[in-house]
Chains A and B, each alone.
Chain A
Amino acid sequence: DTGVSQNPRHKITKRGQNVTFRCDPISEHNRLYWYRQTLGQGPEFLTYFQNEAQLEKSRLLSDRFSAERPKGSFSTLEIQRTEQGDSAMYLCASSGLAAYEQYFGPGTRLTVT
């Protein structure tokens, strides 16, 4: 069973550097979501793809953030000019077109020093 996978699992970077995370959803899932979770909080929605189309972005997603899902398969989330406030767990989830339940990956923990 290949669930949702995310790489890398951990990333430590210096302030001002760019980072890119990858998410591989469950293969037949059309919907893909990115969330961000900080310590002691629940996940917060960042952005949503249906197939290759990015259909919604949260106001949390500043201009330094960009996400893509070429060919409607894997997705990447890039953060440019990282700031200490970007330190968080970045979670990817996928779901089928008519399903409400989301399947989450293990997350990428970003630490900006």
Chain B
Amino acid sequence: SQQGEEDPQALSIQEGENATMNCSYKTSINNLQWYRQNSGRGLVHLILIRSNEREKHSGRLRVTLDTSKKSSSLLITASRAADTASYFCATDAGGSNYKLTFGKGTLLTVNP
């Protein structure tokens, strides 16, 4: 079963605008990761934030984590057409196998 939900399910913006996607999850986590999936490159890891971190940056990406609300957000700044993809949050609940539980994803369309 899916661990969480991304919100919105779909988002359409113009190139240069910022895109914000949210993720909520249900159980305690060890870390939370964001992945991107498009038909060209499959599923690609973007960024990881640990449960004791509140914010993390990587290039044009900013991730926040609020463990008290069991939620995370992914901000993509100055979006490009190439950012068009589905974005998934994935949680690792701890334990030794590091298996991931994914949400349903947000489909982002960046219009040129």
Query: How many of B's residues come within 8 Å of A, CB to CB?
Result: 24
Q: List chain A residues, Cβ under 8 A from B35.
A: 104
Proximity bits, A22-61, B CB within 8 Å = 1, else 0: 0000000001010100001111110010100001100000
Chain A interface (Cβ < 8 Å from any Cβ of B): 31, 33, 35, 40-45, 48, 50, 55-56, 91, 93, 95, 99-107
A101 close to B101 (CB less than 8 A): no
Contact stretch, chosen from B14-22, B60-68, B71-79, B91-99: B91-99
Dominant SS at the B interface?
A: strand
B59 part of interface (Cβ distance < 8 Å): no
What is the minimal beta-carbon distance from B4 to any residue of chain A, in angstroms? 9
Asked if B33 contacts A43 (CB within 8 A), the reply is: no
Q: Using an 8 Å CB-CB cutoff, how does the interface string of B42-57 with A read, 1 for contact, 0 for none? A: 1111001000000000
Q: State A104–B88 Cα separation when bound (angstroms).
A: 13
Q: Are A42 and B42 in contact (CB under 8 A)?
A: no
A40 vs B98: C-alpha distance in the bound complex, in angstroms?
Answer: 24
Q: CB-CB < 8 A to B84: which residues of A?
A: none
User: Are A43 and B31 in contact, with the CB atoms below 8 A?
Assistant: no
Centre residue among B33, B88, B98, B102 by max chain A CB count within 10 A: B98
Instruction: Give bound CA distance, A33 to B99, whole Å.
Output: 8
Given contacts A41-B2, A48-B97, contact A101 B33 (CB under 8 A): yes
Q: Is the CB of B42 within 8 A of A44?
A: no
CA distance in complex: A106, B1 (Å): 22
Given contacts A42-B88, A107-B42, is CB(A102)–CB(B97) below 8 Å?
Answer: no
Residue contact A104 to B97, C-beta cutoff 8 Å: no
A56 and B102 contact, Cβ closer than 8 Å, known pairs A101-B45, A106-B42, A107-B42: no
Contact status B43-A43, CB under 8 Å: yes
